[in-house]
A and B are shown apart, each in its own frame.
Chain A
């Protein structure tokens, strides 16, 4: 017997678009403490292998679409080097499109 999918789709799932995040890393401010990489619940960030100005390896965005926009990286960054912006995902709106 195959396991059944028990979850259902929310009734307003089609009306409400999921928030789309835009993650910005100000690489030259990073000191490489790795808090944002370690404590991201969706594991969106990863350590890059490119040194920045300060001799640290800043995080790089691996999977921006997976970001749940919890902004925990923004809150836990001691260097004010990561922040997230919400971009609306609505069909037909040009402002929401990624360039």
Chain B
């Protein structure tokens, strides 16, 4: 606007690698909002940035690892969760956050996801769900709704999509929530809650993809998609994740699972200590 604005910095600027800004995401893309909410959550919790690791897979949202000014890693397709598991087990002090997309986490990374949730590895998964593979031109993925038009389903999608929160709940996650990019405050609160919780957490963020998915499916501009989110999203608390549908007329959002369970890392450390103690006891006898 004027010289005064150039001197002032955005309050979240210190969490971003300024040399990489502006980011590559399209105008109206939800990934920027997701990153904004995540950084606001970090800012409000005042966590030590040296203890945070952000890991991402491929795709548009995969760039998030390169933009946050904390230790981060951009893994190969689908391998964000195994990498995060290794990081968390090697250094239990770290807070490990996986920021990745639906295609990455649930297509090729699907098995990693369910087994990390089953073991209850203490990692936080934030999944940007834009219903397709946006970066490569809009191919259908595991979350593409029925009858949606993508470049690889030119007559409409005939595959049923995953219900991500139900998958997480059934696999044993201790925290599962779904928000759209419009509910920024609730999303931030959710991320804060997950960061303070022990165990496997999934936060699904339904995000507009104005240049690819929304354009092909004639959903309108990014603002129109956000207005659609406003119109059809229903906030529920502790709703049955099996019934949490995403259709044209209804998007069930809210916190679905919020339970306490000992994490894999803690059980592993306890067992290792116990076995060591037992062996030492046997040796001294």
**Chain A bound to chain B:** yes
* A-to-B contact residues, CB < 8 Å: 24-27, 29, 31-35, 38-39, 54, 56, 60-61, 72, 74-81, 83, 85
Contact of A76 among B1, B5, B33 (CB under 8 A): B33
* Complex alpha-carbon distance, A81 and B36, angstroms: 11
Q: In the bound complex, do residue A75 and residue B37 qualify as a contact, i.e. CB atoms below 8 Å apart?
A: yes
A93 to chain B, nearest CB (A): 19
Interface residue? B122 (CB, 8 A): no
Q: In the bound complex, do residue A78 and residue B25 qualify as a contact, i.e. CB atoms below 8 Å apart?
A: yes
Interface residue? B94 (CB, 8 A): no
Q: In the bound complex, do residue A83 and residue B29 qualify as a contact, i.e. CB atoms below 8 Å apart?
A: no
* Complex alpha-carbon distance, A8 and B40, angstroms: 36
Contact of A26 among B5, B16, B23, B32 (CB under 8 A): B5
Which bracket fits the contact residues of B?
A: 20 to 34
7 example contacts (A-B, Cβ-Cβ < 8 A) are as follows A34-B223, A38-B226, A72-B184, A74-B11, A76-B184, A77-B36, A80-B36
Interface residue? B12 (CB, 8 A): yes
Query: Which chain B positions have C-beta within 8 A of A85?
Result: 8
* Complex alpha-carbon distance, A54 and B13, angstroms: 20
Interface residue? B222 (CB, 8 A): yes
Query: Which chain B positions have C-beta within 8 A of A24?
Result: 1, 5, 8
Q: In the bound complex, do residue B185 and residue A78 qualify as a contact, i.e. CB atoms below 8 Å apart?
A: no
B179 to chain A, nearest CB (A): 13
Q: In the bound complex, do residue A75 and residue B10 qualify as a contact, i.e. CB atoms below 8 Å apart?
A: no
